[in-house]
Amino acid sequence: MTAKKPTFAHLSEVQRALNQSAVARECAKPAPLFFGQRDAVHLYPIMRSDTLRNTSTNWRAQPEVLSKARAFMVERLRADSIGDSKVWAAMALLPRHVFLDDAFYLRAYHDDALPIGYGQTISHPSTVARMIALLRSQGELTRVLEIGTGCGYQAALLTLCATHVFSIERIEPLYRLALDNITRVQRFLPRPPQLSFGDGTLGLPNHAPFDGIIIAAAGLSVPQALLQQLRIGGVLVAPVQMGLQKQQVLIKITRLKNDEWQREIIDDAKFVPLLDGTQSESHTGI
């Protein structure tokens, strides 16, 4: 009499362990890459805000960690700074580290102004959020002009808050850097900003009028050409240097009529200077 063959073969220990880990993998949900509307603290209770201080890890190879850091930054800014829901959603989406040099990318999600070369800086995220929110106080934005593209971060954010964005930079290598950076983040943008190399104090008369104008550098006054390129009801936001002292204030100007502008002082400010003319490749150095 032959022994009855078992219907099922017994699982080996190894096979059992493999099956268990496959089930565990199946149950673990992948981290979402965008969670602007959700609370990062609840999603990632074990992540500490200073994770990126561990400089022995190449965090660029772990975009989900940078994405969490960005969500934390937006959460902190939302609690402490001025902005609005559209600006916060744009900031949660757009990677800021892509706009920074390798030397600084670990600080991309701190509320810091950081060097971008040629003596210029990327503005604090809190400053950028406040300026865009001030611009949006006049209503939805169709056409926006930025003076001082720098590395292109604010111009890219603006495309998530306005239909057509134009931006001018006076330092040629920075204009090229911004073009490059915009290409690297284009999948996040509905349409790229239109960048140009030139003296922004002249504005872009061929594309005027604008619903909003942001000046990202401080002059002794707001250039008349820019005031003229604002549509009636439009808003201009700019840092202005007070007299010959270094003190600056952020101002909001609303065009009330063809020949009437209303000016409000918003807060103290700290920006690089607004300069006339342009600076080309051959005259610059970091």
Instruction: Note the residues at the interface with ligand SAH (CB under 6 A).
Output: 120-123, 147-150, 153-154, 168-171, 174, 199-201, 216-217, 272, 274-276
238 or 274: CB nearest ligand SAH: 274
47 or 188: CB nearest ligand SAH: 188
Q: In whole angstroms, how large is the CA radius of gyration of the chain?
A: 25
- Active-site pick, 21, 81, 85, 123: 123
Minimum CB separation of residue 88 from ligand SAH in Å reads 17
User: Is 123 assigned a catalytic role?
Assistant: yes
Q: Do β-strands 210-215 and 230-241 pair in parallel, antiparallel, or remain unpaired?
A: parallel
Q: Which two tokens stand for residue 222?
A: 């707001």
89 or 275: CB nearest ligand SAH: 275
Minimum CB separation of residue 239 from ligand SAH in Å reads 10
51 or 181: CB nearest ligand SAH: 181
Query: Would you give the distance in Å from CA 67 to the centre of its chain?
Result: 13
Task: Tell me how far apart the alpha carbons of residues 87 and 102 are, in angstroms, rounded to a whole number.
Answer: 26
Please report, in angstroms and rounded to a whole number, the separation of the first and last CA atoms in the chain: 91
Task: Tell me how far apart the alpha carbons of residues 277 and 268 are, in angstroms, rounded to a whole number.
Answer: 26
Task: Tell me how far apart the alpha carbons of residues 202 and 183 are, in angstroms, rounded to a whole number.
Answer: 26
As annotated, the active-site residues are: 123
